[in-house]
């Protein structure tokens, strides 16, 4: 019942709903509506109420609720073992430590806040309390070590689909795995793998999504380059739903990958990419490559047509996408 009531408010993100309207839509008495509103308030939901206009949902509970998350999960393995922590330096460290204690495939660590969240290429990751999804997932795939980057691309597809579903916005992937809305970053993925003798032991997939940050929740240096789902969708997003949806997408794609290999994942990634068809400069360990991003190759490397002619393949690096020179994608 509370779910149906919340769904009704989600359909009217900005407006008031009268008690009469709610009671009619949900087929319950006015007293029952009042009782459910009180129950939701006790869970941390905040309503503005007006005798004339009814109720307006103005705030959601701050904490990720384990029971709600578990109820939302549709996966077989991903997220079924779950640790919710209040504050940690990094969920990546928590996940690695958990593997050492026996965590299995799909184990998930979610934090309300990180004090030393890390991003790709040695950067830090801004992770304010209760404003985002800061999580690390243990994966134990049976694939050769050099194919690990394919998992990153797979995770980016799952995340991009999730954010599109939740916001209705055209989220897109900037190679290899940043998610942008417009030209601002809303989410990133950090894959850390553990290998021995060229054999992959396990991967920790770290996912950071700026969910309910307001402009002032970002530090000044991020305010012009980063965005949040709240800012883009114009309403708060429920973090449990985001996590459950992401895990569902990821498990589905992971099964597809196991059955059919990288080829279908590559097609999906290319269709969601904001990088292909653009002039890019990529800082790689070998130097800067400049040219037009053409496609992914069958391993997951980015194929770039060099300015000076010829094609090159880039396996990892930091991409700058020129916005002025967008060329229509062929797919």
Binding residues vs ligand BTN (CB under 6 A)? 90-92, 114, 117-120, 123, 125, 127, 134-136, 178, 188-190, 206-208
- β-pair type (108-114, 82-88): parallel
**Residues pairing with 85 in the sheet:** 111
Compute the least distance from the CB of residue 50 to ligand BTN, in Å: 39
For ligand BTN, give the closer residue by CB, 93 or 252: 93
Distance CA 61, CA 45 (A): 5
Judged by CB, which is closer to ligand BTN: 178, or 251? Answer: 178
Q: Closest separation between CB of residue 116 and ligand BTN, Å?
A: 7
Look at the alpha carbons of 162, 164, 167, 168 in this order and tell me if their dihedral is positive or negative: negative
Cβ proximity to ligand BTN: between 92 and 249 the closer is 92
* Residue 81 neighbours by CB distance under 10 Å: 16
Q: Given the complex with ligand BTN, which of 37 and 64 has the nearer CB atom?
A: 64
Closest CA to 240 of 152, 162, 178: 162
Picking from 122, 146, 132, the residue whose alpha carbon sits closest to that of residue 64 is 132
Distance CA 205, CA 135 (A): 8
Which C-beta is closer to ligand BTN: that of 19 or that of 117? 117
Peptide bond into 176 cis (omega under 30): yes
- When CB distances to ligand BTN are compared, the closest residue is 188
Nearer Cβ to ligand BTN (173/207): 207
| Residue among 117 and 149 whose Cβ is closer to ligand BTN | 117
Question: Could you tell me the smallest distance in angstroms from the CB atom of residue 133 to ligand BTN?
Answer: 8
CB of 23 to ligand BTN, least distance (A): 42
Min separation Cβ 204 and ligand BTN, Å: 8
Please report how close the Cβ of residue 259 comes to ligand BTN at its closest, in angstroms.
Answer: 28
Q: By the 8 A CB rule, do 42 and 77 touch?
A: no
Of 92 and 227, CB closest to ligand BTN? 92
Residue 176 CB, nearest approach to ligand BTN (Å): 10
Q: Which of 12, 23, 24 is nearest to 48 (CA)?
A: 12
Question: What is the nearest approach in angstroms of ligand BTN to the Cβ of residue 93?
Answer: 8
């Amino acid at each position: 019942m509370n779910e149906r009531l919340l769904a009704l408010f989600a359909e009217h993100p900005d407006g008031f709903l009268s008690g009469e309207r709610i009671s009619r839509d949900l087929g319950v008495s006015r007293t029952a509506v009042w009782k459910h509103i009180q129950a939701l308030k006790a869970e941390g939901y905040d309503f503005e109420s007006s005798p004339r206009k009814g109720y307006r949902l103005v705030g959601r509970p701050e904490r990720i609720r384990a029971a709600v998350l578990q109820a939302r999960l549709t996966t077989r393995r991903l997220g079924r073992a779950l640790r919710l922590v209040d504050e940690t330096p990094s969920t990546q460290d928590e996940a690695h430590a958990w593997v050492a204690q026996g965590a299995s495939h799909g184990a998930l660590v979610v934090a309300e806040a990180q004090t030393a969240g890390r991003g790709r290429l040695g950067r830090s990751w801004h992770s304010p309390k209760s404003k985002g999804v800061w999580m690390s997932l243990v994966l134990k795939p049976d694939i050769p070590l050099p194919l690990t980057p394919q998992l990153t691309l797979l995770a980016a597809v799952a995340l991009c689909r999730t954010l599109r579903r939740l916001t209705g916005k055209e989220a897109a992937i900037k190679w290899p795995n940043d998610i942008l809305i417009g030209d601002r970053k809303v989410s990133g993925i950090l894959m850390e793998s553990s290998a021995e003798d060229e054999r992959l032991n396990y991967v920790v997939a770290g996912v950071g999504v700026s969910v309910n940050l307001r402009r002032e929740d970002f530090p000044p240096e991020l305010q012009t380059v980063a965005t949040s789902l709240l800012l883009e969708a114009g309403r708060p997003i429920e973090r449990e739903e985001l996590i459950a949806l992401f895990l569902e997408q990821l498990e589905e794609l992971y099964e597809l990958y196991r059955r059919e290999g990288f080829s279908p994942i590559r097609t999906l990634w290319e269709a969601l990419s904001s990088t292909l068809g653009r002039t890019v400069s990529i800082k790689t360990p070998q130097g800067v490559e400049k040219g037009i991003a053409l496609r992914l190759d069958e391993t997951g490397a980015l194929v770039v047509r060099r300015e000076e002619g010829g094609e090159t393949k880039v396996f990892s690096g930091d991409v700058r996408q020129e916005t002025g020179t967008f060329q229509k994608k062929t797919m």
